[in-house]
Structure 1
Amino acid sequence: MNIEDLREYCLQHPFVEEGFPFGPETLVFKVNGKIFLLTGLDNDPLQFNVKCDPEKAETLREQYTSVLPGYHMNKKHWNTVVVDGSVPARLLKEWITDSYNLVAKNRK
């Protein structure tokens, strides 16, 4: 997965908005005005932060060395995923969708 694939996948979800509220180097995806994914455009390899159920967040960190506590985020609810090829794209997409669903269900 590269940044173009990530962007395309995020935008496939209903009511998603993208923007740069933190500056030109951080791409943010929101639903219902709340962030469900953010990524630094300068990261090599690609990394992104996604919201996660707290228990699942811990489990994923234990299972995958490329899943870390959320950088600059609430580490209980957010993971940083380093896209280094160690996790299949289908799982990355699953985690993105999980994050979207967690945020989307908390409608205003």
Structure 2
Amino acid sequence: MNGEKLQELARARVQELPGADLEYPFGAGWDVYKVRDKVFMLLTDVTGEPIVILKTDPEESKALQEQHADITPGYHMNKKHWITLHPSGDLQKQMIDDLVTESFLLVVENLPHAKRPVDPATFGRDHR
């Protein structure tokens, strides 16, 4: 998958997340996605390739990095709580959607109940 496609898929998923906003606090070259002023995703190509940086559970982060060569510790972020998705590998759309959603929900879980745009316990769960 090329980098533009990786970032395009991540952006498309964010469009479906309530309360997600795009800001540019770090200037040109950094798309920063927030929910209620808390960062959950960054897109940049300052490393020479278009990458996606996401918040993740520390245990899941380790497993993802062991299973996928194109998932590395978060670029310029806390390496325990953030991962970087690289376009060089075989990440599928569903996995990208899931990782973006998980990042969003990890941030929402830490918001006061009154500020949550969704219930993180039920959002995105299929109840069929």
Does 2:17 align with 1:13? yes
Task: Tell me which residue corresponds to 1:64.
Answer: 68
Structure 1 contact 57–79 (Cα < 8 Å) conserved = yes
Aligned residue-pair number: 108
- Distance in 2 of aligned mates of 1:3 and 1:56: 21
- Decide whether aligned partners of structure 1 residues 44 and 2 sit closer, same or farther in structure 2, where only a CA change above 3 A counts: farther
Structure 2 contact 31–44 (Cα < 8 Å) conserved = yes
- Decide whether aligned partners of structure 1 residues 4 and 63 sit closer, same or farther in structure 2, where only a CA change above 3 A counts: closer
The alignment's C-alpha RMSD in Å is 1.6
Secondary structure of residue in 2 paired with 1:62: helix
Moved over 4 A (4+): 41-45
Q: Offset of 1:16 from its aligned partner?
A: 0.5
Q: Any stretches of 5+ residues in structure 1 without a counterpart?
A: none
Task: Tell me which residue corresponds to 2:57.
Answer: 53
TM superposition score normalised by structure 1: 0.90
Which whole-Å deviations, capped at 9, do the CAs of 1:19-58 have from their partners, x for residues lacking one? Answer: 1110111001001210000010566643111000000000
Identity %: 33
Structure 2 contact 69–89 (Cα < 8 Å) conserved = no
Secondary structure of residue in 2 paired with 1:68: strand
Which whole-Å deviations, capped at 9, do the CAs of 1:76-103 have from their partners, x for residues lacking one? Answer: 0000011234111110110110000000
Q: Any stretches of 5+ residues in structure 2 without a counterpart?
A: 113-128
The structure with more radius of gyration: 2
